[in-house]
Structure 1
Amino acid sequence: MAAPIRTLPLIAALALGLAACQKDGEPAEAKARGASAQTVTVANPQSRSLPRSITVSGPVAAVEEMQLGVELSGLRVTRLAVDVGQQVRRGQVLLILDHRMLDADLVQANAALREADAGAALARANLARGENLARDKFISAMQLDELRAARTQAEARLGTARAARDSTALRRSFADLRAPADGLISKRLVQPGQVVSAGMELLRLIKDGRLEWRAELPSEQLARVSPGDVIALVSRDGTRVDGRVRAVTPGVDAATRTGTVYADLPQPGTLQPGAFLEGRIDTGLVQAVVVPAAAVVLRDGFSTVFTVDAKGLAHQVRIEAGTRDNGQVEVRSGLKAGDRVVLAGAGFLADGDAVRVVDATQPAATP
């Protein structure tokens, strides 16, 4: 029994040595990890107001494009007074048809009107004389009635002749195609010498020269747009053109699930109808969580940030990025209150890396 008692001091000494080795090794490992840690700066997500916008493409079109034609058939175009791209005024003559036959009809109608007018004047005079004679009993009551009937018939013939003259004059006016409103000639479909027919489209007129931009939006985006919202377009030559939403369709198409936004362009500049342009619709301000743009990196095609925990370890977090504005990126999901996001040095980190946080005024080390 003596031998085991002698080994007790040896075992105790070995245990103390192992404990000392463990205490000495922990600071060494921590020091090694601290030495290899990357120096970074961090920032906290902030809440601020961001402009909300929708970017979508659509065509430029006329607000109201009028298709112009004549109401006569079988007449030849003798003169075309305008061409494509020309500004016209309301009432301006755009096109003239051969009106020689119409002029002759109008002369005949005027002559018939004068004849009927003379007949009515004669009938009124005969009736006036007959009434004087009837008072003195020189004619009978039946003769007086006949004079009154003749007066009535003559006035009816005068009314018929006047209506015929007015109809002929109106028909003659149809030979001159006039602009129904101020505007811009956008298309010409007729040539001088061409024989036209009633209802045939001859010219197109953009009323008042007004253009608009139209965009098809899905229902969830359409609900965010309201009349009065500002839009911004960029023309092919790089010029910015501003407009304002005039109307939004009250519903969506059952087949496409989209609705249409109509935006007025008061100063279209060089924009032309038919141009297909990308536009940004500003839909107002929204309160959002943002981080500096330098904190957002792309990993596997997704927007990613790195957060730092209390132990000094970096964690890769995938976020849903939204609007970018003045060096800030909206974070719609992925972060929570109190997170510390790596700012400088985020592009060199991997998930689980040890980091050393320094003040933002100090430069972050790079590998």
Structure 2
Amino acid sequence: MNYESSVTADSPEYTTADMAGADGRTERSSRRGLWITVVLLAIVVVAVAVYYLMGSGEPAPEAGADAGQAPAITVVSPGSGSIEGEISATGTLAARRAMPVGIAGEGGRVVSVPVDAGQWVNAGQVLAVIDHSVQNQQAASASAQVQVAQADARLAQSNLERALQLVDRGFISQADVDRLTATRDAAAARVKVAQAQAGELRARNARLNVVAPASGLVLERNVEPGQVVGAGAGTLFLIAKGGEMEMLARVGESDLARLSTGVSADVVPVGTEKVYNGQIWQLSPTIDPQNRQGTARIALPYAEGLRPGGFAAATIKSGTVVAPLLPESAVLSDDEGSYVYVAGKDNKVERRAVQTGAVTADGVIITQGLTGRERIVLRAGGFLNPGQTIRPVKAGS
């Protein structure tokens, strides 16, 4: 006999085994979905973070957050004060009154030169002795001619006096007296001629020697014993009158207009650190059209360190000015001129064009462009750009 049994869901066998398998599969599916959701959320968070960090069109971070990332830059507010104006110039040293000395007479062979360059001489002192042998003989001859003329004049005077004594006795006529008088006058005139000729020779002989026209310092000696010199021999000696020196300072056209005679100046020759004080005694009346400069002549007393022809630097006082004074590190320059960086509104970097004046030991004088109340970038200006946000830090804080 065949018996068929039907198995249903309500049977004990299905409820115990098959339901357990179904619950396991459902739990695993739920866990898998949870992990997928977590991963997707993490990806979204990372994407949003990257999006904001890259600044892709979203609103900028708040000022407080941005200030923490801005670079700290040292700034200074120089203010305005009275500054002793100075003008720096360069130039050459020279004798203030250079006197070239040459041959005044006919010249001749140089016998001796008793002075040398670097020595002091007095007015009228002999610098070079010229051979006088021929001229001395000529002078002696002229002196003898004077004596001959004087003897003739004495004889003519005696003849006239004797003739006058004989006129009253009738032995001498008036015509003879007139003739003797003329002879006497002619003899006296010849004496004067001879004396003048002798004096001329003596004067020429005196001019043969080269003498100093004034007291001073001998700068150059261009003659040696045995040399034959004449009127065309040129300058034999160069003398600085009184030993006074000067500096020919080359000054710009605008700076020259700010100077006047009597202004003090400090001169430092090249190769030394010694400072020589002088005064401007003359300003050039003309401007060189090539370099737009003029000459300020600075008078200097004699000193061994001042050598004519040498190069020197001068610092000239140009009065007191009221202007900001900045360190050199704060002033920049390019093809457009000098400028500074200013920490402006919202701490944004602004470029400000300025006009600089003299450079002193304390900094650069700003003549135009600043009031002194601005916050000027002290350093690192070369690494900034206009519009960049910075965090200003007062110098010294």
Instruction: Please give the range of the TM-score, normalised by the shorter of the 2 chains.
Output: 0.7 to 0.9
CA contact (8 A) 2:79 2:373 kept: no
1:45 Cα offset (Å) = 4.5
Structure 1 Cα separation of the partners of residues 168 and 70 of structure 2: 133
Aligned partner of residue 70 in structure 1, secondary structure: coil
Q: Highest CA radius of gyration, 1 or 2?
A: 2
> In the alignment, which residue of structure 2 is the partner of 1:222?
256
Matched, 1:205 2:239: yes
Higher mean alpha-carbon deviation, 118-127 vs 344-353, is at 344-353
- The 1:303/1:338 distance shift into structure 2, 3 A limit, reads same
What does 1:161-176 correspond to in 2, within 5 Å?
A: 161-176=194-209
Distance 2:85 2:98 in 1: 33
Please give the TM-score of this superposition, normalised by the length of structure 1: 0.78
Q: Which amino acid aligns with 1:249?
A: S
Q: What residue number does 1:242 align with?
A: 277
- Relative to structure 1, the CA distance from residue 299 to residue 82 in structure 2 (aligned partners, 3 Å threshold; closer, same or farther) is closer
Structure 2 CA distance for partners of 1:78 and 1:216, relative to 1, 3 Å? same
**In 1, are the aligned partners of 2:76 and 2:394 still within 8 Å (CA)?**
no
**What's the offset of the Cα at 1:187?**
2.0
Structure 1 residue aligned with 2:96, among 63, 88, 102?
Answer: 63
> 1:282 maps to what in 2?
317
Please give the per-residue CA displacement for 1:322-360, whole angstroms capped at 9, x wherever unaligned. Answer: 334463532233335753335588788654454556776
Alpha carbons of 1:269 and 1:218: their partners in 2 closer, same or farther (altered >3 Å)?
same
Q: 1:199 to 1:66 in 2, by over 3 A?
A: farther
Greater Cα shift, 37-46 or 272-281: 37-46
Matches for 1:14-53 after TM superposition, within 5 Å: 29-37=62-70, 43-53=76-86
Q: More strand by proportion, 1 or 2?
A: 1
Distance 2:160 2:325 in 1: 101
- How far, CA to CA, are the matches of 2:227 and 2:63 in structure 1? 96
Counterpart position of 1:259: 294
SS in structure 2 at match of 1:174:
helix
Match of residue 109, structure 1, among 142, 165, 188 = 142
Which residue is equivalent to 1:269? 304
SS of the aligned residue for 1:102 comes to helix
1:332 aligns with 2:367: yes
For structure 1, the residue ranges without an aligned partner over 5 or more in a row are 1-25, 363-367
By how many angstroms is 1:142 displaced? 0.8
Q: Secondary structure at the match of 2:197?
A: helix
1:116-167: CA deviations, max 9, x gaps?
1222223233323333333454421111111210111011101101001101
Could you tell me which amino acid in structure 2 is paired with residue 335 of structure 1? L
2:132 aligned residue (85, 90, 99): 99
Q: Deviations over 1:88-112 (max 9, x none)?
A: 1111111111111111111111111
Q: Percent sequence identity over matched residues?
A: 34
Cα contact 1:241–1:269 (8 A) shared by 2:
no
3-state SS of paired residue (2:304): coil
- Counterparts in 2 of 1:93 and 1:352: CA distance versus 1, 3 Å: same
Aligned to 1:307: 342
Unpaired segments of 5 or more residues in structure 2? 1-58
Distance 1:305 1:118 in 2: 98
The AA in structure 2 aligned to 1:157 is R
Q: Distance in 2 between matches of 1:126 and 1:189?
A: 59
Compute the displacement of 1:80 (Å): 1.4
1:130 is aligned to 163
CA contact (8 A) 1:55 1:278 kept: yes
Comparing 197-206 with 153-162, greater Cα deviation is found at: 197-206
User: What SS does the corresponding residue of 1:130 show, helix, strand or coil?
Assistant: helix
The residue type equivalent to 1:191 in the other structure is E
Equivalent residue for 1:317?
352
Provide the residue aligned with 1:17 in structure 2.
none
Residue equivalent to 2:327: 293
Tell me by how many angstroms 1:84 deviates: 1.8
Question: What's the Cα RMSD here?
Answer: 3.2
- Give the alignment's TM-score, normalised by structure 2: 0.73
Deviation, structure 1 residue 169: 0.8
